[in-house]
Amino acid sequence: MTEFRVPHPDLPPPASTIGALGWMRRNLFSSPSNIALTALAAYLLWIALPPLLNWTVFKATWSGDTREACQANSGACWVFIRVHFDQFLYGFYPEAQRWRVNLAVLLLILGAAPLFTQIITNAAKVKLGLSLLVGYPIIAFILFKGGLFGLPDIETSRWGGLFLTLVIAGVGMTAALPLGVLLALGRRSKMPAIQTLCITFIEFWRGIPLITVLFMSSVMLPLFLPEGMNFDKLLRALIGVTLFQSAYMAEVVRGGLQAIPKGQIEAAAALGLGYWKAMALIVLPQALKLVIPGIVNTFIALFKDTSLVLIIGLFDLMNIVHNATTNPEWLGFSTEGYVFAAAVYWLFCFSMSRYSQSLEKRLHTGHKR
Amino acid sequence: MNALAASTPLSDQVMIQMDSIHKWYGAFHVLKEINLTIQKSERIVICGPSGSGKSTTIRCINRLEEYQRGRIVVDGQELSNDVKQIERIRREVGMVFQHFNLFPHLTVLENCVLAPIWVRKLPRKEAEDIAMGYLERVKIPEQAKKYPGQLSGGQQQRVAIARSLCMNPKIMLFDEPTSALDPEMIKEVLDTMVTLAEDGMTMICVTHEMGFAKTVAHRVIFMDSGEIIEQNTPEEFFTHPQSERTKLFLSQILHH
């Protein structure tokens, strides 16, 4: 006799394991100690959130142009930020010329936008990226500094605010990554002279604090330069930050290089690819992808470290906020100022972090198998 | 002589000439006086216990390994320390590895066209046409857009063979191409290699697949402790091994 097997029908999962209820059971109330922790967290939020929201939103002053406007409310005086907002963005850059900064930002956004979409092919992205890397700094520098094409010259000492922070961070990141890659390759080179040079460079810059680098670049370096020769303080800071960060970047990249199996290099070599082609086409794409979290970590640290330039008298976002809080007309609003600065830094750093995560997901090609 | 070897006659043109090659790893003498002459279209199988220097020998031919003494001439060009000369020779010598070594960040098709485009300077369109042709020959054209990580081991190894063939090499080196494969996938890779043999490709294959050696090879070479102990036609080698070491090796691999 033939036996027929009736397939078991698919049943819906028990109601208590799905939806919001299921989520809460699993994550908030799964055990007595978890229930206790949930209660404790709820209690802490209960005592911390209302005053925080009151200060930042409900009892804060949003409109007005003078400090008197803030006296009616007990919360934050965001008028202080409003009044100084342009200064926080541009520093002491002349008001009439600020369109140049805006234009440069707009150009960058327009130029780089295709890189973050799927409209163009990867090969076109590489070309666009490289031409941006070479061309954009020149255009941006001409716009910012002026002195050409009838644009009035603006001393770098007048650059400031978020604009200056982005200049330092942007230059630092775009220059430190390629430099770091070269240093990492050099450190793994079979040629002893290059290897020694790279190790010495990396260990020197990693061994000293950034604050020392900045001090040396602004105070000590001019002592060694011949009389009359003086180059820009911002440029010196940029070089200092770049060299400093490239040493960190080199070690991050080296971590990635070491994770690439030797067989990859052998396969590339067996196909007749030379060293640079094998590195550029086979090893680095894989190695850099592996260390995206480390690279972005270094970028975020660099972004925040730019605030150290305040000690050499550059007015980046941090320093310009600090400067505004010492304005006699606006004394007593340092909390608002620093909260604002912190929020801006956080926004940029968090965006970088999110972008790196999406990049990692997109570049994953299932190579772990 | 097996039927395949009989049907593909050798020309007397020498493809690879190895003259008394010696190699040391530190103080360890890995290759001792290796002399080997390989004709065009000849198919050689190298076997021997692990650590006997089989892989090292073939890796010397495309200079993945350096050697300290002796000389190697590949297709009329002598290997030297000149990087350009080494790259020139590598273009003519394809290699298939035990662990496939496909590039995991590139699709199957991109794996195949990379070297033709960057080394042979072919236009992308032409390189892709050639690559699709070879992917069809190894019977996986439908996988062209996939990444290596999405393929089975046997498929990956066939892609690796296609990738080497895209460079239109004169010689193919196989370094234990089936050792990392599950048993049911070994056959598909060996079949691919047999079709290559039928086309008259010069092949050197390090393998333990004695069935492959019997049906395809012109010559079987047995190595032990860095030396060539014995070489002969497959028939003679398997039926009348000369040395004791060869007999011992054959008894071990044929009776399990």
d(CA A48, CA A199) in angstroms, rounded, equals 49
- Each residue's pLDDT tens digit, B98-123: 999 999 999 999 999 999 999 999 99
User: In 3D, which of A100, A145, A91 has the Cα closest to residue A315?
Assistant: A91
d(CA A250, CA A199) in angstroms, rounded, equals 10
B129-B131-B136 Cα angle (round to 5): 95
At A39, the amino acid letter reads A
Whole-model pTM: value is: 0.83
Half-sphere exposure of B90 (CA within 13 A, CB side): 26
A366 vs A184, residue with greater confidence: A184
Give strand pairing partners of A55: none
Name B250's Cβ contacts closer than 8 Å, sequence gap at least 6: B238, B241
Q: How far is CA A72 from CA A52, A76, A340, B55, B68, in A?
A: 18, 11, 21, 85, 88
Residues of A in contact with B74 (CB under 8 A): none
d(CA B102, CA B138) in angstroms, rounded, equals 15
Residues of A in contact with B118 (CB under 8 A): 273, 277, 281
Is it the case that residue B180 has pLDDT exceeding 50? Answer: yes
Angle between helices B108-118 and B153-165 (to 10 degrees): 20
Structural contact between residues B190 and B45, judged by C-beta atoms closer than 8 angstroms: no
Nearest neighbour of A289 by CB, restricted to B88, B90, B105 = B105
- Each residue's pLDDT tens digit, A147-162: 777 777 777 777 888 8
d(CA A91, CA A288) in angstroms, rounded, equals 36
d(CA A145, CA A159) in angstroms, rounded, equals 9
> Nearest CA to CA, how far is A368 from chain B (Å)?
7
**Whether A369 contacts chain B with CB within 8 A:** yes
- Each residue's pLDDT tens digit, A83-98: 788 888 887 877 777 7
Is it the case that residue A369 has pLDDT exceeding 50? Answer: no
Q: Write down how long chain A is.
A: 369
Tell me whether residues A267 and B97 touch, CB distance under 8 A.
Answer: yes
Is it the case that residue A1 has pLDDT exceeding 60? Answer: no
Tell me whether residues B147 and A366 touch, CB distance under 8 A.
Answer: yes
B-contacting residues in A 288-347 (Cβ below 8 Å):
289
The 8-class DSSP code of residue A369 comes to -
If phi > 0 it is left, if psi is from -120 to 50 it is alpha, else beta; for residue B196 that is alpha
Nearest neighbour of A366 by CB, restricted to B118, B150, B160 = B150
Tell me whether residues A367 and B104 touch, CB distance under 8 A.
Answer: yes
Is it the case that residue A59 has pLDDT exceeding 60? Answer: yes
- Each residue's pLDDT tens digit, A188-240: 888 899 999 999 999 999 899 988 888 888 777 777 776 666 677 888 888 88
Tell me the backbone φ, ψ of residue B253, rounded to 5 degrees: -85, -20
Q: How confident is the model at residue A368 (pLDDT cuts 50, 70, 90)?
A: very low
d(CA A265, CA A279) in angstroms, rounded, equals 8
Which percentage of chain A shows pLDDT scores above 70?
96
Tell me whether residues B118 and A369 touch, CB distance under 8 A.
Answer: no
Is it the case that residue B254 has pLDDT exceeding 90? Answer: no
Please write down the HEC assignment for all residues of chain B. CCHHHHHCCCCCCEEEEEEEEEEEECCEEEEEEEEEEEECCCEEEEECCCCCCHHHHHHHHCCCCCCCEEEEEECCEECCCCHHHHHHHHHHEEEECCCCCCCCCCCHHHHHHHHHHHCCCCCHHHHHHHHHHHHHHCCCHHHCCCCHHHCCHHHHHHHHHHHHHCCCCCEEEEECCCCCCCHHHHHHHHHHHHHHHHCCCEEEEECCCHHHHHHHCCEEEEEECCEEEEEECHHHHHHCCCCHHHHHHHHHHHCC
- The mean pLDDT of chain A is 84
What does the block give as tokens for A209? 């604090």
Tell me whether residues B99 and A270 touch, CB distance under 8 A.
Answer: no
Nearest neighbour of A367 by CB, restricted to B97, B99, B149 = B149
Name the closest residue on chain B to residue A281, using Cα atoms: B114
- Number of Cβ pairs < 8 A linking chain A and chain B: 75
Residues of B in contact with A264 (CB under 8 A): 101, 103
Tell me whether residues B167 and A289 touch, CB distance under 8 A.
Answer: no
**Whether A267 contacts chain B with CB within 8 A:** yes
In sequence order, what DSSP letters do the residues of A293-304 get, joined into one string?
HHHHHHHHHHHH
CA B160 to chain centroid: 12
- Each residue's pLDDT tens digit, B62-96: 999 999 999 999 998 899 888 899 999 999 999 99
Q: How confident is the model at residue B220 (pLDDT cuts 50, 70, 90)?
A: very high
Which of A264, A271, A288, A289 to mutate against chain B (most B CBs within 10 Å)? A271
> Nearest CA to CA, how far is B18 from chain A (Å)?
19
- The mean pLDDT of chain B is 90
What does the block give as tokens for A16? 């208590």
Structural contact between residues B26 and B66, judged by C-beta atoms closer than 8 angstroms: no
- Each residue's pLDDT tens digit, B226-244: 999 999 999 999 989 889 9
Structural contact between residues B34 and B57, judged by C-beta atoms closer than 8 angstroms: yes
Tell me whether residues B115 and A263 touch, CB distance under 8 A.
Answer: no
- Each residue's pLDDT tens digit, A273-295: 999 999 999 999 999 988 988 99
Give strand pairing partners of B22: B69
Nearest neighbour of B119 by CB, restricted to A266, A273, A282 = A273
**Whether A362 contacts chain B with CB within 8 A:** no
Tell me whether residues A272 and B114 touch, CB distance under 8 A.
Answer: no
pLDDT for residue A228: 63
Is it the case that residue A73 has pLDDT exceeding 60? Answer: yes
